[in-house]
Every structure is written in C-alpha cells, then in structure tokens.
Amino acid sequence: MTDRSRTPAENAELALLLEVAGTPKPGNVDRHRDLDDLRFEQFLAGSVGSARGLRAAADGAPLGGAFERAVRGMSRQSGGNTQFGCLLLLTPLVSAAAAGDLTREAVRERCRVTTVDDAVAFYRAFEHVDVAVGDPPEGVDALDARRGSDAEPALRERGTTLWDVMELSADPDDGVPDTNAAEWIEGFPRTFDAAEAVLADDGAVLDRAARSFLRQLAAEPDTLVATTHGESVAESVRERAASTLAAVERTGSLDPAEALAEAFVDEGINPGTTADRVAAALFVALERGLAV
C-alpha cells in the first residue's frame, strides 16, 4: 500500500548524504572524519540546500539554471564549497532520470544541447562559493571560471555553450584535464560503470560507497589533487589507492583504507573529484534499485 519509491530528486539528495557518510573515503570528509576547514554537518546542510535545484532539474529546467540554483542552496552553510562537483554531475543525471531515460546516450544528449544561457548560469554559480579550479588555458582568460558573471559578455560574444565549456575543461590545451567535465562529454562512462560495481557489490551501503571511492581513485588521478598539488602527486595518490584497494580486496576488510585516510588527511591530500563521482554513481545505483 505504501509507495516505496523515491523521486529522482530525492535519490540525488540521498546520494549526496550517502557519499559524505561513506567511510573511510581517504582524504575526504566522511562519517568518521572532518577536515580542518570543512565539517560533516556542513555537507548535511549542503545536501538539504541542494534539493530545490535538484527538483528544478527533475522538473525540466535548463541544466545551467538548475545547477546554479542547487549550488546557491548548497552554499547556505558556513563551510564553503561542499558539493559543487557532485551537483555538476547530478544535474544532468537527475534531468534524464526524471524523464525516464537514465541511459548514457540520453544523459550525453542533454549535455550536448546545453546553450550559452546554461554556460552563463554555470559561471554565475561560481559566485556562490569558492571553487578550486586551475588556470584557464592560454588565450582564454576571459573564460576563467573565477570571473563569474563577468564572463557573460565573452561567453555571449563567442557563443560558448555549457557543453563547449565542459569540452574545453575535459581536454585543455594545457593544464589539468577535469574528469568531471570528461563525464559530461563522454556520457558518464565512469559513473555508470561505478554504479554497476556498487550494485554488484554486497554489504552495507556505506561500505559500498567506500569501496567505490577507492576503486575510482585507483583507476585515475584525481583532478582536484592534480590542480592543488600537481600531476605527479595525483599519480602517486592513485598508486597508493591502488595498493590499498589490493589490500582491501585481499583481506575483505576496509581497515587498510583507514590507514590511508589518516595519511591523506595529515598530508592535506583531498581527492574531492573522485568523491563527486561516488555521489553520481550512488545516484544511478539508487535509481537502479540499490536498497537503503
């Protein structure tokens, strides 16, 4: 008699909460760890605040505006940027899921048809929180994300869509390629693969989230670590995650990841882009029947 289903916007908000609760998630805030400047409860508030923007995405609002609204709501806590990257991934996923078509092709198509207005809204979202981004490619200073609304004339003059922005970020002429932007351009291959792995995994949801994080961090250097510490540090972080993942799989215990979590927090290593994709993967898994 009771309707057992959550809406896509509810599943997206729940994915944000499960992501931050998943533990250990080395280098990130999790159920058992805060960072110096970012606390667990700020992620809880960020998740609640995001919900209206996520509902806008589900209701068919343009992706840029829905994203900006979600970020504005997320920013209503004192920790700063908690889930900017998560929301960038979740917005098109929620939009597609609400239309009953949560496939790689359908999500990619939604991203592909974004407009200049979407790009303008995306840039405006940077005014709500400080986001760690790399320098813009040479010659496109006018499109530096940190310019916020000031970038609007340049975006309009060039006819730059949100898709174009993501394409540039995914594969810049110089600087660090952004794997979240690559998800937009490539139809979320990492996210959908990770969702299937979460569904194929067993055990408690928060343990699955932790293993998903470790698998993804072992597979590819984290964009945020590369941006803040350089690409060689990001590669070494990837290698340490791969060793830890091997130990976790060999022992069947997450304990080896606890040690890595302590180490990364001590070293100031925050693989936040990988955590973003855990949230996205959990959303897809929830839509596909992951039980909580």
Collapse the DSSP code of 35 into the 3-class scheme (helix H, G, I; strand E, B; otherwise coil) and give the result. strand
Smallest gap from residue 18 Cβ to a copy of itself (A): 6
User: 62 is written with which tokens?
Assistant: 């343009």
Q: Which of 290, 93, 283 is nearest to 199 (CA)?
A: 290
Q: For the window 127-166, what string marks contact with a copy of itself as x by the rule CB under 8 A?
A: xx--------------------------------------
Handedness of CA 254, 260, 266, 271 (dihedral sign): negative
Cα dihedral value 104, 177, 26, 132, nearest 10: -110
Applying CB under 8 A, the span of 58-66, 70-78, 165-173, 224-232 interacting with a copy of itself comes to: 70-78
Check binding of 199 to a copy of itself (CB under 8 A). no
Q: Give min distance, CB of 36 to a copy of itself, in A.
A: 13
Nearer to a copy of itself by C-beta: 39 or 288?
A: 39
Binding of a copy of itself by 32 (CB under 8 A): yes
Closest separation in Å from C-beta 31 to a copy of itself: 6
Strand partners, 33: 30
Q: Cα dist. 138→102, 160, 164, 213 in Å?
A: 36, 17, 16, 33
Q: How far is CA 118 from CA 48, 158, 275, 281, in A?
A: 23, 14, 24, 24
Task: Check residue 5 for interaction with a copy of itself (CB under 8 A).
Answer: yes
Rule CB under 8 A: which residues touch a copy of itself?
1-6, 10, 13-14, 17-18, 21, 31-32, 39-42, 44-45, 47-49, 51, 72, 75-78, 127-128, 204-206, 291-292
